Amino acid sequence: MAAAEEGGGGMAVIRDKGEMRSWSRSRRKAGGGLALVPTMGYLHRGHLSLVEEAKKRAQFAVVSIYVNPGQFAPTEDLDSYPSDLQGTSVGWRRWGSMPSSAPPTFTTMGKAAALEGKLVSCVEDRGGEGAGHETWIRVERLEKGLCGSSRPVFFRGVATVVAKLFNIVEPDVVVFGKKDYQQWRIIRRMVRDLDFAIDVVGLEVVREIDGLAMSSRNVLLSPTERQQALSISESLLKAKVAVENGETSCEGLKASVTWSITQAGGRVDYAEIVDQENLGVVKRIRSPVVFCVAAWFGKVRLIDNVEISL
């Protein structure tokens, strides 16, 4: 993969754990802060906003690209998850061709490093370096509910792999998107509970022009499903407006969102209003909440949310 080793805009591609750590340590020793953006590859403009934030917060940015088998259950869509791991620089090139949205800083980005999948594998039955892995991190309350209900091994996989990335990259800052709201809260809690010296930043959901939350899975939607999926963001926005106009009962709000998505042709996995901090289910809105939705369109499961801060 000699081509990818070069990348563009001074980017370096690193594929070895020891090399990654040396790279980070030499930068930090020189005094430059270091920010990490963990991704599962297939980079889209939502990721770009994370990288932009990373570059604001630190002198150096590292983007990890890793489709983590540890967070997919055997029945889930690991195999169909869009991946460009075979060419880690594809995502960067894609950005390079988006002059209107890519800031000038992007092409002059000092250094960005991509870790590739197999080196941080922690799924024992796949053999290789991860063989025998048996250490798992659980954030016991926050991992329950929402996506944790329908994806029971998801968050232990996320927390464990993110901790590995922290120990390999040793960043000062890590940037997540709040589209994965529960993930963001879980990582914040893990960092606090385990005393990682890392600032966890969460960025607002980045949306397509019609409101659909950006996701690597969107490319899997048929044109019809793509249109139907707008029911998520549209109904969430309506719910937010309703709360701003005085509605406090969650039951009606949830029924309305579920109805809208179902009417459009989707299948709701959950539509839940929870406390922004502890993700506990809320019945009547009296403090800041987040309205979280997961829904299927065809074979694609999408998630989205809106924060509603009174």
**Residue placing its CB nearer to its own copies in the complex, 139 or 212:** 139
Return the number of the residue (43 or 168) whose C-beta is nearest its own copies: 168
Q: In what order do the strands lie in the sheet with 289-297?
A: 267-275, 289-297, 300-308
Q: Is 14 exposed, middle or buried (0-12, 13-18, 19+ CB in 10 A)?
A: buried
Which of 251-268 are b and which e, b meaning 16 or more Cβ less than 10 Å from the residue's Cβ?
eebbebbbebbeebebeb
Closest CA to 140 of 200, 201, 212, 193: 193
Q: Minimal CA–CA distance to 154: which of 219, 162, 125?
A: 162
CB half-sphere exposure, 66, CA atoms < 13 A: 32
Out of 4, 113, 137, 214, point to the residue binding its own copies (CB under 8 A): 137
Give the per-residue contact string, 108-127, with its own copies (x = CB under 8 A; - = no).
Answer: ------------x-x-----
What's the CA gap between 74 and 77, in Å, rounded? Answer: 8
Distances (CA, A) of 231 to 52, 59, 235, 299: 29, 40, 6, 17
**Residue 21 binds its own copies (CB under 8 A):** yes
14 is an interface residue for its own copies by CB under 8 A? no
For 1, what's the count of Cα atoms within 13 Å in the CB-facing half-sphere?
15
> With contact defined as beta carbons under 8 Å apart, do 296 and 277 qualify?
no
With CB under 8 A as the contact rule, which of the stretches 58-66, 140-148, 282-290, 300-308 interacts with its own copies?
Answer: 140-148
- In the range 181-210, which residues lie near its own copies by CB under 8 A? 189-190, 193-197
Active site annotation includes 47: yes
Q: Is 291 in a helix, a strand, or coil?
A: strand
Least gap, CB of 75 to its own copies (angstroms) = 21
**Complex with its own copies: residue 29 or 284, whichever CB lies closer:** 29
Interface residue with its own copies among 11, 112, 159, 201 (CB under 8 A) is: 159
Count interface residues toward its own copies (CB under 8 A).
Answer: 29
Site string for its own copies, 245-264 (x = CB under 8 A): --------------------
Segment contacting its own copies by CB under 8 A, of 33-41, 43-51, 132-140, 252-260: 132-140
Residue of 34, 139, 250, 303 interacting with its own copies (CB under 8 A): 139
- Contact range with its own copies by CB under 8 A, out of 2-10, 80-88, 158-166, 214-222: 158-166
Q: Which is nearer to its own copies, 50 or 279 (CB)?
A: 279
**Active-site residue, from 44, 47, 111, 217:** 47
Reduce the secondary structure of 49-83 to three states and give it as a string.
HHHHHHHHHCCEEEEEECCCHHHCCCCCCCCCCCC
The residue within the footprint of its own copies, chosen from 2, 75, 125, 134 (CB under 8 A), is: 134
Write the CA distances from 304 to 169, 208, 224, 229, 230, integer angstroms: 29, 13, 19, 10, 11
Compose the 161-180 pattern: x for residues touching its own copies by CB under 8 A, - for all others.
--xx--xx-x----------
**Residue 58 makes contact with its own copies by CB under 8 A:** no
Which residues form the catalytic set? Answer: 47
**Residues that bind its own copies in the complex, under the rule CB under 8 A:** 17, 21, 29, 120, 122, 133-142, 159-160, 163-164, 167-168, 170, 189-190, 193-197
